[in-house]
Amino acid sequence: MWRLVGGSVSPRRPVRRAAAAALLAWLVIGCGSQSRPLPDVIPSAEESAGPEETGEPTPEPEAAPDDAFAFSPDPDKFPTTVEQALLLIDLVQPEPTAIGPDFVAEEPAESDPATWSTLDDACVQASGPLPDGVLASVSRYSRLPATGGGDGPARVRTVVTVHADEESAAAELTDTLEEALRCPDREPGQGESVTGLISLGNPAGSRGQVSADDQVYGTGEYRSDEFGGPYPYLSVISRSGPVTTAVSVNGTAAFDERAVSQASAQALVQMQTTVQAALE
């Protein structure tokens, strides 16, 4: 049960339209890609009797509450040691083929679990030591090989971070949202850039039929010195109890906004579902 495994866009207004469209695509495509089963709502014979049988007017059905699929973690199942955190991370991290059948692992395939990604004052992404309150964090790197014609590979980075408590995990999402305001233009790697990043935070509740305590979405444009651009870029981070799961995807000329949305949704929904199954 637990082993679940374009064209140029000019600055400003077109970028914002493209970013808004990408966010909408994620919400429409992503939240419906996988879901928990719906509860049994088939009424009994007595409950289904109509006005002609009972003589009573049929009451209006009650709307399902927003938290109908809310995640209720069991604190006794929260990891408390680095070893337990690493076991959970290994369970949650998807294999490349779980993102798409043609995805393969990058080299190196994973980060050091004693480090995590940071943005320095110049908005350059680097690796730094884990802060207090974080037990372990692992990034896994996957790519869809280029099909030729000068197009580059689509890349997916999935991150699972286990915190010592829920407060520390919630602070990570707050910091993520603040970093998007501080660094809408950033350098994720040498010869790479993400520009025009627009972020949006969602409070606790359900997205479709997948619940989360908090989520932050970000969209922008990806460029590469080697393969050009701009290409669609999407990042999402979600919190379930003391665990955060994140995915970022950069597209290519062939791997368009819809493909980026589908890949990010496939990875994130699987990770969230696995975390919640492990901690409930």
pLDDT above 60: residue 30 = no
Q: Label residue 147 by pLDDT band (50, 70, 90).
A: confident
Within a domain: residue 60?
no
Determine, yes or no, domain membership for 62.
Answer: no
Average confidence (pLDDT) over 39-57: 40
Residue 155: strand pairing partners? 143, 250
In a domain, 58, yes or no: no
Residue 25 phi/psi, 5-degree rounding, is -60, -40
**Number of domains present in the structure of the chain:** 1
Has residue 266 been placed in a domain? Answer: yes
Over residues 178-201, the mean pLDDT reads 94
Region 30-34: what's the mean pLDDT? 40
Residue 55, pLDDT > 80, answer no
Contact by Cβ (8 Å): 234, 245: no
Which residue did the predictor score with more confidence, 171 or 54?
Answer: 171
Neighbours of 136 (CB within 10 A): 24
Q: How far apart are CA 201 and CA 92, in angstroms?
A: 23
What is the pLDDT at residue 233? 97
Beta strands in the chain (DSSP E): 104-110, 115-119, 125-129, 134-144, 154-163, 192-202, 205-207, 210-212, 214-224, 228-240, 243-250
Would residue 251 count as lying in a domain?
yes
Question: CA–CA distance from 38 to each of 111, 137, 156 (Å)?
Answer: 37, 32, 30
Assigned domain for 225 exists: yes
H or E, element range at 88:
helix 82-92
In this predicted structure, what is the pLDDT of residue 234? 97
- What pairs with residue 124 in β-bridges? 187
pLDDT at residue 56, as a whole number: 54
35 lies in a domain?
A: no
State which residues form the domain around 92. Answer: 70-279
pLDDT range class, residue 25, cuts 50, 70, 90? very low
Q: Percent of the chain having pLDDT more than 70?
A: 71
Whether 47 is covered by a domain: the verdict is: no
Q: In terms of C-beta density within 10 A (0-12 exposed, 13-18 middle, 19 or more buried), how is residue 16 classed?
A: middle
pLDDT per position as a tens digit, 63-96 = 444 444 466 889 999 999 999 999 999 999 999 9
